[in-house]
């Protein structure tokens, strides 16, 4: 018998085990055949010649058969188990020699599209209140934070020079009216002189036709008549001009009276006083002194710059929800009222206005807010963590781990960027395994040992 192979992993070990098992089976079969022959001879011979084995012989035979069976079993089973253990050890050693990488399965998000962008809250209407009359603040009737109604007095301006201007303008109107009366009297006198000149001219014309007077005298009287006619026309023009002067003087009086009304500063609309720059006794100048600033806060508007990739999903009438840091856990419902319908060429963003009711005054102009434009989509793209991207000269890629544990560098087209997650428009399918935080091991065709990464909420 040849010695057993010391390396049970070689094919000779299997052959040796099978040979020993077959030999033991043949010996067992020979013993059984001999026992049957003896039993046959026992039936054919006479009772005196029949051989009856003792109990010890039978026990020895059974014990020998059992020992041969057990020896045959161990001769074939033990080498097989050693070979299987060696194969498993080599497989584990091979797996341990491969780089271990963390992988995550690509999943498709819910059909609800999440778009949250920052925005600035402003009053729906805001206006500065300037002085329209020169003078001093006589009384200040409101202060910062006061809510006012449209037409409510805010301050009074003391302007004595304006009173003098009004009296002077009224005196100019009276003077113009007196000049008009004088011009009317001159017109009446001119018309009377024109009538006398006309009668005289007609008489001298008749006498000249009869040859009683000379033609020279007749021409003189005819010229005098024409001069009176021109004088009357001049007086009528003077009267019209004087009436225009009166209208201008009266308009000046009306303007000054309006200026008198500006001495009382009034609110242009309902709102709240956000700025107060003057106090009693302050000197104000027309059109240059800012008295107050008023803002209408019952409805606020928020301006948001939407990136180009999301601009097509924003439409007027679309609902939106606002949240501010000083009101945790509370959201404010709003509506997209209008968009600029054009992208800013510098930032490639669309200016969007969202109006929010603010009847309780919880929101204030100037706040920073987060605006949620979430909506439903029929076929949302897959989402991957941002730390799985590989940006190289030939484009954006991810390292896909195939079922045979080989790495494939897959190019992708990215969509919206949510910060920790990124939409993938093409290149990946739901269920693909991709490497997280890929390093130098992310090479085409490299074998790796994938380790599942726990899902993030």
Residue 314 confidence (pLDDT): 87
Tokens linked to 108: 């498709």
pLDDT the model gives residue 294: 94
Could you read off the pLDDT of 8-20 as tens digits, one per residue?
Answer: 444 444 455 456 6
Q: Quick one: pLDDT at residue 31?
A: 75
Residues of the chain predicted below pLDDT 50:
1-14, 17, 45-50
Residue linked to tokens 């929101």: 363
Q: What is the pLDDT of residue 10?
A: 43
Residue closest to 115 by CA, chosen among 401, 359, 390, 313:
313
Cα–Cα distance list, 372 to 113, 232, 342, 424 (Å): 10, 82, 21, 21
Q: Which pLDDT does position 353 carry in this prediction?
A: 94
Using alpha carbons, select from 247, 256, 246 the residue that is nearest to residue 164: 256
**Six-digit token string for 262:** 């500006």
| CB-based contact 304:194 (threshold 8 Å) | no
**For residue range 105-157, what is the model confidence (pLDDT) as tens digits?**
887 766 566 788 999 999 988 899 998 888 899 999 999 989 999 999 999 98
CA dihedral of 90, 93, 97, 99, whole degrees rounded to 10: 110
What backbone phi and psi angles, to 5 degrees, belong to 413? -115, 120
Nearest to 341 by CA among 312, 300, 301: 312
Residues 108, 380: contact at Cβ < 8 Å? yes
**Alpha carbons 164 and 159: distance in angstroms, whole number:** 9
Contact (Cβ atoms closer than 8 angstroms) between residue 409 and residue 444: yes
């Amino acid at each position: 018998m040849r010695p057993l192979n010391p390396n049970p992993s070689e094919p000779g070990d299997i052959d040796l085990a099978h040979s020993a098992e077959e030999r033991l089976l043949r010996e067992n079969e020979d013993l059984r055949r001999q026992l049957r022959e003896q039993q046959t001879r026992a039936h054919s011979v006479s009772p005196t010649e029949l051989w009856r084995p003792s109990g010890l012989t039978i026990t020895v035979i059974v014990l020998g058969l059992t020992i041969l069976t057990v020896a045959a079993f161990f001769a074939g089973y033990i080498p097989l188990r050693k070979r299987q253990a060696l194969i498993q050890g080599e497989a584990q050693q091979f797996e341990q020699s491969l780089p271990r990488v963390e992988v995550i399965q690509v999943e498709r998000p819910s059909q609800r599209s999440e778009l949250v962008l920052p925005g600035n809250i402003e009053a729906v209407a805001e206006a500065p209140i300037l002085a329209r009359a020169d003078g001093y603040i006589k009384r200040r009737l409101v202060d910062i934070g006061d809510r006012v109604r449209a037409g409510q007095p805010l301050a009074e301006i003391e302007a004595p020079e304006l009173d003098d201007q009004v009296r002077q303008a009224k005196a100019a109107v009276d003077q113009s009216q007196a000049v008009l009366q004088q011009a009317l009297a001159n017109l009446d006198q001119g018309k009377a002189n024109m009538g006398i000149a006309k009668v005289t001219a007609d008489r001298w014309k008749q006498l000249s036709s009869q040859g009683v007077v000379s033609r020279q005298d007749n021409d003189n009287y005819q010229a005098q008549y024409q001069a009176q006619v021109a004088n009357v026309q001049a007086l009528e023009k003077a009267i019209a001009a004087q009436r225009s002067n009166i209208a201008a003087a009266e308009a000046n009086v009306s303007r000054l009276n309006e200026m008198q009304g500006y001495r009382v500063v009034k609110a242009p609309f309902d709102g709240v006083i956000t700025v107060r720059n003057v106090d009693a006794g302050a000197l104000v100048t027309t059109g240059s002194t800012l008295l107050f600033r008023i803002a209408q806060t019952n409805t606020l508007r928020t301006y948001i710059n939407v990136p180009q990739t999301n601009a097509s999903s924003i439409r007027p009438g679309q609902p939106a929800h606002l949240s501010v840091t000083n009101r945790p856990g509370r959201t404010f419902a709003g509506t997209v009222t209008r968009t600029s319908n054009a992208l800013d060429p510098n930032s490639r963003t669309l200016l969007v206005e969202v109006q929010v009711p603010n009847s309780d005054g919880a929101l204030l102009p100037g706040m920073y807010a987060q605006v949620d434009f979430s909506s439903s989509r029929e076929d949302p793209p897959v989402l991957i963590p941002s730390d799985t991207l590989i940006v190289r000269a030939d484009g954006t890629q991810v390292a896909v781990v195939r079922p045979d544990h080989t790495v494939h560098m897959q190019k992708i087209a990215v969509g919206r960027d949510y910060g920790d997650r990124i939409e993938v428009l093409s290149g990946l399918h739901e269920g693909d395994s991709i490497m997280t935080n890929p390093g130098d091991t992310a090479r085409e065709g490299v074998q790796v040992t994938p380790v599942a990464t726990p899902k993030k909420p």
